[in-house]
Structure 1
Amino acid sequence: MMKELERIDDYFAGRLSPADRDRFEATLPHNPALARSVAFYLLARQTARQEARRMLKPLPVRRLPVRMLVAVAACLLLVLGFLTVWQTPPSVREVADQYLSERYGQLPVSLDGQSDSLKTGSQFYNMGEFRKAETVFESMLQREPTHPEALKRAGLVSLRLNQYDQAIERFQRLGQQTDLYANPGIFLEALARLKRGQPMDKNRAKKLLLTVIQGNLEGKKEAGQLVEKIKFN
């Protein structure tokens, strides 16, 4: 890398022989790695000039030959094309993380009819004390294995602790309950599978998200957004 940058610097400083200069210019349009290195060199030099101006110590600006300017322009066009190609969509885990952070970064602790255990566990969750929250919610589930809010919050704690198998199991138990007015279990299971990322998890998550959309279940809007954001096979 350093030798390549030295050659680039020699080119722009006019230190290359005519033959080497011609060879450099002929190679540039067909060598993506060299084009990226030239772009890095130009950006670094421009940054240095800006910093020097800021410190009221301008660097001398040297007029470049026309053929050199043409080569620079060609290089920048190549780099712009590569940057467009390199703009890849976020990974499925990043999309799931973003939603979980926005929607479940904090849990409500003052809902009407909420038990003291739910409040306590949620307070631990909100403070980042996930092990303590896990203990509280697990104790609730031992007493009431089908408690929907305990299953939901315990599953969220499992996600925070990267215990994906346990999170999926809890969300599945929640999603199987058919007597709830609003049930986020299927949607949350999809998120947990996107986070876990095992073989077939992505396709399974897509099916779950489509089930949420087609069944008009809780999380329908978000499920549609995830399907659009994530490139499924």
Structure 2
Amino acid sequence: MDESKHFNMEQIESYLSGDMPSEEKLRFEANLESDTKLSELLHIYRTIDAEMHNTEKYSSREADLRNTLQQLNAVYFKSEVPVIQMSSRKQWYRAVMSAAAVFVLMLAGYSLFFKSSSNTSALADRYVKENLLHLSLTMDGAKDSLQQGIAAYNKKAYAQAIQLFEAVYKAHPDNSDAIKYAGITYLVTKAYTKALACFDELAAKKELFSNPGMFLKAVTLLQRDLQGDKEQAEQLLQQVVNEKSDGSKEAARWLKK
């Protein structure tokens, strides 16, 4: 029996938001490891959410998107499925994922409407949406302040999360995860100056075997998007590629756009 059928969209939303009970979360993650279809479904969900975020960001193009969705509906669904409306993001991606032609619709829609926004800023925006809105708890499950901060972050209790992360870092300046998570929290709450300070401090920790500080600083600059930010971010991305540090694959791909 296909185990992925036991998980519905509400459960995926609950998992991504951090609201899923711990026992159910462990069961869900165990299935992610063994069930390719479930893993792909989770990836689709994140991707669609990111694309819809970009659609809202570039809302002036919504009329064009409506027209093309109508055309795609006629071509791929033979008028058997009602035209997808744009009034609700949640309705949109649930309708898409329930359709047999989900991949065709996603790829066609992306190619037609987001090609012009495929630059480093848009890619950074997608990266945040797909990778930084949920933090993974460590495998040991310890209930320390860092874990509590992660749990608060996943529930979008960002003020509580930042207090916990900063308290951990103040007590343990060698805890690179604490400063990284503090920076990420500032990033997603658009406190860009504080995020940059955290990632500068993280990047300065040369003793770390794995250090995403420079890459995350570039992401933050692209998100802030003030004058000169994009140029500085691209310089950092090139440095990430040259040094083959964390984020080098994404950096190389973004620089080609």
**Alignment TM-score > 0.5, same fold:** yes
What residue in structure 2 maps to residue 129 of structure 1?
157
Instruction: Give the aligned partner of residue 133 of structure 2.
Output: 105
- Report the TM-score when normalising by structure 1: 0.59
Q: Distance in 2 between matches of 1:124 and 1:201?
A: 30
When the two chains are superposed, the root-mean-square deviation of aligned CA atoms in Å is 3.1
Q: Which runs of 5+ in 1 are unaligned?
A: 1-35, 44-49, 55-83
Equivalence for 2:230? 202
> What is the distance in 2 between the residues matched to 1:86 and 1:216?
29
Determine if contact 2:200/2:217 at 8 Å carries over to the other structure: yes
| C-alpha deviation, 1:91, in angstroms | 5.3
Measure how far apart 1:113 and its partner are.
8.8
Q: Give the TM-score of the pair, scaled to structure 2.
A: 0.53
Partner SS, residue 88 of structure 1: helix
Alignment of 1:1-233 (within 5 A): 88-90=116-118, 92-112=120-140, 116-229=144-257
1:74 maps to none
Deviation at 1:187, TM superposition (A): 0.3
How many percent of aligned residue pairs carry the same amino acid? 30
2:133 and 2:188 in contact (8 A); partners too: no
TM-superposed deviation, 1:219: 0.9
- Whole-Å Cα distance in 2 between the matches of residues 217 and 143 of structure 1? 27
Deviation at 1:146, TM superposition (A): 4.6
Count residues with an aligned counterpart: 155
Unaligned runs of 5+ in 2: 1-63, 72-77, 83-111
**Separation of aligned partners in 1, 2:152 and 2:211:** 24
Aligned-partner Cα distance in 2 for 1:194–1:158: 14
